[in-house]
Structure 1
Amino acid sequence: MNIVILGAFGHLGKAVYQLLEPLPNVNVTLFGREKEDIEVASTTKVIFGDATNPENLEGALQGQDVVFSTLGPFHVETFATPLVETMAKLGVKRLFWTTQFQIRQDEVTEENIALAKTFGFDEETERTYVANQKLGAQIIEDSSLDYTLLMSHFFKYDNSIEKAILQEEDEMVEGEPISIYSLAVVLANLLLQPERYSRKGVIISASK
């Protein structure tokens, strides 16, 4: 299986890569803006580029079975539109798109605004973020791609091991913020099972 990680040099992209790289029969390509602290296996293909540039994307997407996007967190429409167009052009169908657990909610709740503040986001930033995530998700849903919307809870930048909860996209969220490591474990498993959650979303959180 050939898997490309877009936005691969952020916290989540790196965490998922570390889980996928040792697996047999999995070939991982990393795509993102250049960073100096990248440590990858000699067998891993690394491509530096701009995800808003279709020509850059073509080099990364050619021959891939699964595309995993961690692009964002803001202005995601500038990433979603060229990605959809380039995947369609190349005939690459399977996309896992990271987004946010609130995109199906009509309004950002006061509870979630309070929670966002504990992560360092003020109310305006949180409302803008969720609205932009909704826009990006809509672009993906309006496409002909075989997508999954990965609707994750707030994630904590640590490696704690937590039991994850996976829910249908229209359910009330049962869990709470999830660690980067635990989220990466869930995502790596989903990427290896591309038949799951086809053309729908899945809410991912940690057990309370």
Structure 2
Amino acid sequence: MTNVLILGAHGKIAQLATAQLLQDTDAHLNLFLRDASRLSMTDANREQVTDGDAASQADLEKAMQGQDVVYANLGGGNIKAQAQAVVAAMDVVGVKRLIWISTLGIYDEVPGAFGRWNHEQLDPSHYIETYRAAADVIEASDLDYTIIRPAWLSNKSLVSYELTQKGEAFKGTEVSRASIADFVVKLIQNPSEHIHESLGVNQPNTDGDKPSFY
């Protein structure tokens, strides 16, 4: 049995991963989010809901007690501060395995017209540089991390994806949330895989100037 702390548990990908973990594994889940009343449990024997702030090291340390894996599905303008708090709390508590959701483009790895379009869409809000700063915090840690860099997200029920490593050109333009959730679950089931890797994730054969839904 694996104990999994899911940070940002109200997120769409996190909810898909939660449902799949309940269906496909015997993991116990600690669902961490701000305003816990937004989330209801499916299986009270295997889930608990924790109200907390992912930028608060104290909140995180409390939630991490007894956990084996931390899956962070976080966002916002303070994502670097959240990354710093997560790393510090994991170091204090002694939890090593971290799965961290980031975004594409943080290494300027998206080529061609799509790369230019992606930068134009995200750069005005400094989204890319903010998420890069958070990824830098994770990569500088001594944690057993995996960083996931999804393509633009769709709500398709399709599960189909391929991976690219840091240093390789990003492939495709889009990927389903269900695919990212599936990959997260696979990492939780096989926690020794993809350690110290930052992985682009896309749906195969979706190359183009922009995602199909734009």
TM-score (norm 2): 0.86
Per the alignment, in what secondary structure is the counterpart of residue 62 of structure 2? Answer: helix
Q: Larger deviation: 63-72 or 21-30?
A: 21-30
Aligned residue among 86, 99, 102 for 1:99: 102
Q: Distance in 2 between matches of 1:135 and 1:122?
A: 15
Corresponding letter in the other structure for 2:124 = E
Q: Distance in 2 between matches of 1:73 and 1:112?
A: 22
| Structure 2 equivalent of residue 33 of structure 1 | 34
Q: Distance in 2 between matches of 1:155 and 1:123?
A: 17
Per the alignment, in what secondary structure is the counterpart of residue 80 of structure 1? Answer: helix
Q: Distance in 1 between matches of 2:109 and 2:150?
A: 17
| Structure 1 equivalent of residue 153 of structure 2 | 155
| 1:202 to 1:122, Cα distance in 2 relative to 1, 3 A | closer
Aligned residue among 149, 167, 172 for 2:169: 172
Per the alignment, in what secondary structure is the counterpart of residue 55 of structure 1? Answer: helix
Q: Distance in 1 between matches of 2:168 and 2:109?
A: 13
TM-score (norm 1): 0.88
Q: Distance in 2 between matches of 1:25 and 1:13?
A: 17
Per the alignment, in what secondary structure is the counterpart of residue 88 of structure 2? Answer: helix
Q: Distance in 2 between matches of 1:89 and 1:8?
A: 22
Q: Distance in 2 between matches of 1:9 and 1:99?
A: 16
List runs of 5+ in structure 1 lacking aligned partners.
none
Identity of aligned residues (%): 26
| 1:82 to 1:161, Cα distance in 2 relative to 1, 3 A | same
Cα distance, 1:88 vs structure 2: 0.3
RMSD: 2.1
Are 2:197 and 1:200 aligned?
yes
Corresponding letter in the other structure for 2:191 = P
Q: Is the 8 A contact 2:135 2:147 kept in 1?
A: yes
CA deviations on 1:132-170 (whole Å, 9 max, x unpaired) are 1110000111111111111111212x1330420112222
Corresponding letter in the other structure for 2:169 = M
| Structure 1 equivalent of residue 6 of structure 2 | 5
Q: Is the 8 A contact 1:8 1:31 kept in 2?
A: yes
| Structure 2 equivalent of residue 191 of structure 1 | 188
Per the alignment, in what secondary structure is the counterpart of residue 18 of structure 2? Answer: helix
